[in-house]
Amino acid sequence: EAGVAQSPRYKIIEKRQSVAFWCNPISGHATLYWYQQILGQGPKLLIQFQNNGVVDDSQLPKDRFSAERLKGVDSTLKIQPAKLEDSAVYLCASSRDRFNEKLFFGSGTQLSVL
């Protein structure tokens, strides 16, 4: 089966600019996750969707980050405006359901904010 598709792979922007990431999960996977991984730390969950509804966005900085999952399939994560501390790897993952199902990860987007 095709894996989780993410783009772009790398992005370099200046602070205060905007950036968007795109994710296409594995077909049929109901749950989609966006994680932020800062160097030296474990991945931090930003937002979790179940189909097209938000299950958890408690750690999403909502003043600058937004995410949507239209029609319960593809998802986009946006940062506007970006700050230096947003430099990280952004990982998208999907699973068949949100309980004891393993996560399948995309290749990630390496974001550098200068």
Partner 1 sequence: ILNVEQSPQSLHVQEGDSTNFTCSFPSSNFYALHWYRWETAKSPEALFVMTLNGDEKKKGRISATLNTKEGYSYLYIKGSQPEDSATYLCAPHGGYQKVTFGTGTKLQVIP
Q: Which residues bind partner 1 (CB under 8 A)?
A: 3-4, 33, 35, 40-45, 48, 56, 58-59, 91, 93, 98-108
CB of 42 to partner 1, least distance (A): 4
Name the minimum Å distance from CB 73 to partner 1: 19
* Residue among 17, 43, 44, 40 at smallest CA distance from 113: 17
Which of these, 33, 32, 13, lies nearest to 79 by C-alpha position? 13
Residue 35 DSSP SS3 = strand
* Residue placing its CB nearer to partner 1 in the complex, 56 or 74: 56
Closer CB to partner 1, residue 3 or residue 8? Answer: 3
Compute the least distance from the CB of residue 101 to partner 1, in Å.
7
Q: What number of helices (H) and strands (E) belong to the chain?
A: 0, 11
Q: 43 or 113, CB closer to partner 1?
A: 43
Residue 39's Cα: distance from chain center in Å? 16
